[in-house]
Amino acid sequence: MSSTAGQVIKCKAAVAWEAGKPLVIEEVEVAPPQANEVRMRILFTALCHTDVYFWEAKGQTPLFPRIFGHEAGGIVESVGEGVTELKPGDHVLPCFTGECGDCHHCKSEESNMCDLLRINTERGVMLNDGKTRFSKNGQPIYHFVGTSTFSEYTVVHVGCVAKINPAAPLDKVCVLSCGISTGMGATLNVAKPKKGQSVAVFGLGAVGLAACEGARMAGASRIIGIDLHSGRFEEAKKFGVTEFVNPKDHDKPVQEVIAEMTDGGVDRALECTGSIQAMISAFECVHDGWGVAVLVGVPNKDDSFQTHPVNFLNERTLKGTFFGNYKPRTDIPSVVEKYMNKELELEKFITHSVPFSEINKAFDYMLKGQSIRCIIRMGA
């Protein structure tokens, strides 16, 4: 065990004291891990749109003060009672969702939605005792999705920790903890395009570009990117996109435009925006007989998906996915190996890098639409 095992660690963390206000670098106390928990040192973390959404507290019950962050790479510092598969020094990626290994979902080869450790954005405490592991001068600071990686040290449930190849560069593979794996997995694991087939991707943000990357890896012959911002089209070419459609440039539904472009529809479509209209368009643009559409984006809670039943009767398939159907502990190590084997290209997703002391710049880049992923260098 490390020299700090069992002790409270004082370290720097970027604390959100209020919704929408700049994060403040503070010295916080991080308690030791309890049973089935892992304390790790975060070396690199990245900003995801999910962090920004809940930091702004849009449509949610505010829970502050809080430490955000969930895409990261680090090294195990110490482990709690009952943790046998990890040891100090292991290189790991914390994940916002987990894999307990015992529930019906974990035992199923068809699901990655763990009953115990499924994402919970409103719970700011650890499962073990209902308390936080972060504090400042005795004041509790809440966790975020069980990871809270905007801290030099954090405590995570062991089921949400993926042990990876120690040779993998953490400043690159840290982005696999959320959006990139979600988009790529949606294509490779759910849509499953065959080599030479056509794929349409709605939304060219980080998740959508990752879906395009998955289509490129699968050998798609045509990758059609659909987005309301034409400025994203040039960047998308790096991810294999061959054609672009801006729905605002047409006076007919975009699904009709795509059907005309592809002689009846694409073979596969992925929706990565959360827009209910984009979801309907993605489904209705796939070819009858064999077309598959996959919903990746998260809709508003009051949205209603409406399409004519004949679209199903004509043998179009609609699917959904969560985290690209990857089980965190079982599958994410193999995704890292795709990068190590040069099948997956991660560098093109990383558009910016800032020291931890300038973490608020990462928020500025994302809010202005300037970044895909910004790496935050901890300890700098």
pLDDT (tens digit, 9 = 90+) per residue, 198-232?
A: 999 999 999 999 999 999 999 999 999 999 999 99
Taking a C-beta distance cutoff of 8 angstroms, is the pair 290, 265 a contact?
no
pTM value?
Answer: 0.95
Among 11, 106, 174, 212, which one carries the catalytic annotation? 106
Let me know if 178 is a catalytic residue.
yes
Among 4, 29, 49, 317, which one carries the catalytic annotation? 49
Let me know if 212 is a catalytic residue.
no
What is the predicted pLDDT for the residue at 59?
Answer: 60
Let me know if 374 is a catalytic residue.
no
Those residues of the chain that have pLDDT short of 70 are 1, 59-61, 380
What is the predicted pLDDT for the residue at 58?
Answer: 73
Edge-to-edge strand list for the sheet holding 134-136: 9-15, 24-30, 134-136, 139-141
Among 91, 105, 268, 373, which one carries the catalytic annotation? 373
What is the predicted pLDDT for the residue at 29?
Answer: 98
Let me know if 106 is a catalytic residue.
yes
Taking a C-beta distance cutoff of 8 angstroms, is the pair 41, 58 a contact?
no
Let me know if 329 is a catalytic residue.
no
What is the predicted pLDDT for the residue at 80?
Answer: 97
What is the predicted pLDDT for the residue at 243?
Answer: 98
Let me know if 100 is a catalytic residue.
yes
Domains of the chain in start order, with CATH, are 180-324 (3.40.50.720)
Torsion sign, CA atoms 5, 8, 13, 19: positive
Among 45, 50, 149, 187, which one carries the catalytic annotation? 50
Among 26, 39, 45, 71, which one carries the catalytic annotation? 71
Q: Cα 199 to the chain's mean position, in Å?
A: 21
What is the predicted pLDDT for the residue at 1?
Answer: 60
What is the predicted pLDDT for the residue at 380?
Answer: 66
Torsion sign, CA atoms 36, 53, 355, 171: positive
Q: Considering only CA atoms, which of 187, 181, 185 is closest in space to residue 292? A: 187
CA dist., res. 236 & res. 203, Å (int): 10
What is the predicted pLDDT for the residue at 196?
Answer: 98
Let me know if 50 is a catalytic residue.
yes
Taking a C-beta distance cutoff of 8 angstroms, is the pair 303, 276 a contact?
yes
Let me know if 95 is a catalytic residue.
no
